[in-house]
Amino acid sequence: MRKRIKDLWLVIVLILGASALLLMSDLKQRQTRENKIAVVTIITLIENPLLDDAIAGVEAGLIESGLTRERDYAVKKYSAQGEIGQLPQIVDAVILEKPAVIVTVTTPALLAAAAKVNDIPLVFTVASDPYKLQIFKEGKKPANICGVHDNPPVGRLLKMAARFYQNLTKVGIIYDAAQINSLISVERLRAAGKEQHIHILEATASSVSDLGTAAQSLIQRGAEAFILSADNLVLTGFPAILKVTKGAGIPVYVTEPDFVSQGASGAIGDNYYEWGKQSGQMAAKVLTGVSPFDLSVTETKNQYVIEPK
């Protein structure tokens, strides 16, 4: 009888011990889930100083919104290294990781993500107007997408060039025809040229090594000034273009104010750091519980004007 009672107590102790272990394990798992840091995944087409500024701006927007890195969020970055065809594969990999929010940098990155991401918040920066890109079905913003786009002031740039070059008749532009954001800028410049009675000369490029040759061809065709706008290839290879135009005494006007310090003659456009920060503030709202559905698709807040000296 005593042996049976002893065995029974032993069973009860073992059951209680196992239950306690299960309870502790469940508690630890819950604590791990509750304390898990939200991941902000940044996807960009390519790396260059301007886009690096935009990414730094995104992080500044998160911090200025009251969040602390490695306590409230962690950042993971992906770059397609200029290969547009790699972006869909990157997006697929990111979807499997299920981050708290995806931030796309550049129009191609936005296009690739918008085509695949449905149930993860998506905030875009350094991109063209998604309505003009026609990536929203029936022109309606998806519930998971918000962000900040530009409005390239190529018409104003053309007027700036005309003010500083009497009787300006021909202006050249170089762009990557594979980037829809570049096509939007070119279409706007064509319209502005027609309105201002200035002939627009065009040259395309598909790699940085093509840019110098493209610049030479425009000069040979009589370009008296260049306008460069909203093109990731041109942004990355700007020094190659400037080397040619500077040697020929041709002024270059850009939508990237930072390029004036590198040799551009004048600029009207967005500061990429501030642009990224504006989007980063949106991402911070998403991390704190605001639905992207309640956030907007909006233009950059500020444009900077740097007149030629």
Write down the pLDDT at residue 1.
52
Give CA–CA dist 212/208, Å, rounded. Answer: 8
pLDDT of 230 over the 60 cut: yes
Using CB atoms within 10 Å of the CB of residue 111, give its burial: 0 to 12 exposed, 13 to 18 middle, 19+ buried: buried
End-to-end Cα separation, the chain, in angstroms = 105
Homologous superfamily in CATH for domain 38-150+272-302: Response regulator (3.40.50.2300)
> Can you tell me the mean pLDDT for 124-129?
96
Write down the pLDDT at residue 19.
45
Work out the percent of the chain whose per-residue pLDDT is above 90.
83
pLDDT of 215 over the 70 cut: yes
Write down the pLDDT at residue 20.
40
What tens digit of pLDDT does each residue of 88-125 get?
999 999 999 999 999 999 999 999 999 999 999 999 99
Domain ranges of the chain: 38-150+272-302, 154-269
What tens digit of pLDDT does each residue of 131-146 get?
999 999 888 999 999 9
Contact predicate 298/141, CB 8 Å? no
Fold identical between 38-150+272-302 and 154-269? yes
pLDDT of 165 over the 80 cut: yes
Write down the pLDDT at residue 4.
53
Write down the pLDDT at residue 23.
36
**CATH code for 154-269?**
3.40.50.2300
pLDDT of 228 over the 60 cut: yes
Q: In what order do the strands lie in the sheet with 73-79?
A: 73-79, 38-44, 101-105, 122-127, 145-149, 297-299
Give CA–CA dist 78/116, Å, rounded. Answer: 16
Contact predicate 118/145, CB 8 Å? no
Which helix (H) or strand (E) segment holds residue 204: the answer is strand 199-204
Contact predicate 299/151, CB 8 Å? yes
What tens digit of pLDDT does each residue of 267-308 get?
999 999 999 999 999 999 999 999 999 999 999 998 899 999
What tens digit of pLDDT does each residue of 11-48 get?
444 444 444 444 334 333 333 334 579 999 999 999 99
Half-sphere exposure of 32 (CA within 13 A, CB side): 6
Give CA–CA dist 263/156, Å, rounded. Answer: 19
